């Protein structure tokens, strides 16, 4: 009886072991595959990348920037910098080709853009967007300067109005896959908004600041006001009085009704006036708009860590292009881990930034703050 029980137990044990041996083991789930019905894991990076321009007392690029040279304050508190790198920039040329009242010149805007491209350092990537009634991407990101120049020469076209708010919103979308700290816009405009826009300026600026794009502006505003002043003013010929003396004034002739040698000496001044009061009023309104837009463009440049150029002549307008390219070339990417956790921030929280030099003869400039993602 005992032998029969032991034999039965042995058979059962062998059957169990054999069944276990034949049962296939589940294959491990690859770590990079999403399990059906499970939300993907989101990793929040506690890191801020800040674009900082570094130059010497002559405004030239400082190639020797080190961590100990830079002080970054976030909401007034010093931050521990983890790295400083000089990386290639991604530069979007955002060109205003709207021609309200005939006061801007697309050919001059083209020349400015061509000079910016020619002056940028090798290795930078460039994209082109023009805007008038709508924003249009003419060239996606490329480091081929010859291709960019060809597009500027052949595809830039004038429009009737300018919708800057819409253009800024569309431009911001171009930086979704661009690393933070290397995002730049070169904006050539007078900043005056046309009608029919789909975004408010506040909405567009909020998105631009959240994307941490540095904006460098060449503004038409002073040139436009000068032109409006000329067009709306009374214009007085050459300002000379006419005395009727044929020797000094061939326009005035002697009166044949007078004795030989005698002349009349009337005194008069040539004067012209723009006789279209509606057009004059529109120009005056446009002039006031440029004063508002100039302040807005200045704020945009300073807040984002860029600069604004306000040339007062056509030659200066084109000449400032080299200054913008040089300014972009001086920028480093400074990375730090904020002492106050980003994950704990409220949605849309704004944090103030200040960048200071800790070395004599070194001048630094960065954005004034950022929006927590």
Please check whether residue 217 lies inside any domain of the structure: yes
**Same-domain status, 206 and 262:** no
Q: What pLDDT is recorded for position 33?
A: 39
**Same-domain status, 251 and 223:** no
**Same-domain status, 137 and 192:** yes
Within 10 Å of residue 56's Cβ, how many Cβ atoms? 14
**Same-domain status, 280 and 202:** yes
Q: Which DSSP letter does residue 73 get?
A: E
Q: What is the pLDDT of residues 152-185, one digit of tens each?
A: 999 999 998 999 999 999 999 999 999 999 999 9
Q: How far apart, in whole angstroms, are the C-alpha atoms of residue 292 and residue 76?
A: 31
State whether residue 90 is helix, strand or coil. strand
Q: What is the pLDDT of residues 271-303, one digit of tens each?
A: 344 557 888 888 889 999 999 999 999 999 999
Its domain, for residue 243, covers 236-271
**Same-domain status, 208 and 301:** yes
Within 10 Å of residue 161's Cβ, how many Cβ atoms? 16
Q: What global pTM score does this model have?
A: 0.77
Q: Is 325 left (phi over 0), alpha (psi -120 to 50) or beta?
A: alpha
Q: How far apart, in whole angstroms, are the C-alpha atoms of residue 263 and residue 305?
A: 70
User: Confidence class of residue 262 from pLDDT cuts 50, 70 and 90?
Assistant: low
Domain count for the chain, please give it: 2
Please check whether residue 43 lies inside any domain of the structure: no
Which regions of 98-232 does DSSP assign to beta strands (E)? 125-131, 135-142, 183-189, 214-219
Q: What is the mean pLDDT of residues 314-338?
A: 92
Query: CA 343 → CA 83, 191, 207, 334, 339, distances in Å?
Result: 21, 36, 20, 20, 12
**Same-domain status, 355 and 267:** no
**Same-domain status, 173 and 143:** yes
**Same-domain status, 52 and 164:** yes
Q: Which DSSP letter does residue 344 get?
A: T
Q: What is the pLDDT of residues 330-341, one digit of tens each?
A: 999 999 999 999
């Amino acid at each position: 009886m005992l032998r029969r029980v032991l034999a039965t137990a042995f058979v059962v044990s062998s059957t169990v072991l054999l069944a276990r041996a034949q049962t296939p083991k589940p294959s491990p789930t690859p770590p990079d595959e999403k399990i059906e019905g499970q939300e993907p894991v989101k990793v929040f990076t506690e890191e801020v990348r800040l674009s900082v321009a570094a130059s010497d007392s002559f405004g030239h690029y400082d190639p020797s920037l080190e961590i100990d040279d830079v002080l970054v304050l976030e909401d007034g508190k010093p931050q521990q910098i983890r790295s400083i790198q000089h990386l290639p920039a991604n530069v979007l040329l955002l060109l205003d080709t709207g021609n309200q009242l005939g006061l801007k010149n697309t050919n001059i805007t083209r020349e400015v853009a061509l000079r910016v491209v020619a002056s940028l350092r090798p290795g930078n990537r460039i994209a082109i967007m023009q805007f008038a009634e709508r924003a249009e991407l003419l060239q996606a990101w490329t480091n081929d300067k010859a291709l960019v120049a060809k597009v500027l020469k052949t595809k830039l076209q004038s429009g009737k109005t300018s919708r800057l708010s819409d253009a800024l919103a569309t431009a911001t979308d171009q930086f979704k896959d661009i690393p933070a700290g290397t995002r730049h816009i070169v904006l050539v405009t007078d900043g005056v908004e046309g009608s029919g826009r789909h975004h408010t300026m506040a909405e567009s600026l909020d998105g631009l600041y959240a994307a941490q794009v540095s904006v460098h502006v060449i503004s038409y505003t002073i040139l436009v006001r000068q032109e409006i002043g000329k067009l709306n003013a009374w214009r007085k010929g050459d300002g000379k009085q006419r005395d009727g003396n044929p020797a000094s004034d061939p326009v005035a002739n002697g009166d044949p009704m007078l004795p030989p040698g005698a002349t009349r000496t009337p005194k008069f001044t040539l004067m012209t006036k723009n006789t279209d009061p509606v057009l004059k009023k529109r120009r005056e309104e446009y002039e006031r708009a440029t004063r508002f837009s100039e302040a807005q463009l200045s704020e945009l440049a300073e807040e984002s860590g860029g600069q604004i150029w306000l040339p007062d002549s056509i030659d200066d307008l084109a000449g400032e292009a080299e200054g913008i390219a040089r300014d972009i070339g001086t920028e480093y990417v400074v990375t730090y881990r904020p002492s106050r956790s980003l994950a704990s921030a409220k949605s849309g929280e704004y944090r103030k930034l200040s960048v200071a030099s800790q070395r004599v003869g070194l001048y630094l400039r960065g954005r004034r703050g950022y929006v927590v993602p």
